[in-house]
Amino acid sequence: MCSMGFARSLGFALLPLAVCCIMANILLFFPGGEIQYVQQERLSRLIWFMMGIGGGGVLMFLPAGVFISLGKCTGCCWNESFMMCGSVMAALVGLGGSGYCFIISAMAILEGPQCFTALGWSYPFANEGGRYLMEKDTWSKCLQPVSIVEWNVTLMSILLGLSGLEFIICVLQVINGLVTAVCRPCCYKQDYTLNA
């Protein structure tokens, strides 16, 4: 039963992480709180992949829900094994979602934001391989949206961190579920008696 309690606590930990991923991704659509850039489609192309809304957000509600619901139907050791196998499957879905969010966020940070420069709308940091992150004086290349580099780097870093935590939580549940499903410690403690 403690493996189910551990899984439930992992599920409760996933919920706020998923909500924060959704909020961070939504904020990426409104640099500086302005809506004109989304209306003019002047956002970085990778933002439209919705990594925080889909991968790190909505998709994480499935494993969170499965983990939290563990232990609701108890009774026999085989139920526990089957439930833990189901939680491993849900954790694998979570690994896919958090991995997707992490990879797309990392790619977006390396590419840098789309912004208006002296040469027009472009990706001024796209071919630098992320060097612009260490050269803060180059951020002034972006004239509009105001502080777009700081906005994108901050929110993408938040998405990287949150999806990394989600990934770790799902890996922990895969290990927990496999150990519980394979070992089934409760089965070895059962007393088999015949009642006449």
What pLDDT score does 46 carry? 95
Mean pLDDT computed over every residue of the chain: 88
pLDDT over 90 (residue 106) = yes
42-82 tens-digit pLDDT? 999 999 999 999 999 999 999 999 999 886 655 555 566 67
What pLDDT score does 192 carry? 46
Residues 6 or more apart whose CB falls under 8 angstroms from that of 6 comprise 176
Higher pLDDT, 166 or 82: 166
* Banded model confidence at residue 7, pLDDT cuts 50, 70, 90: confident
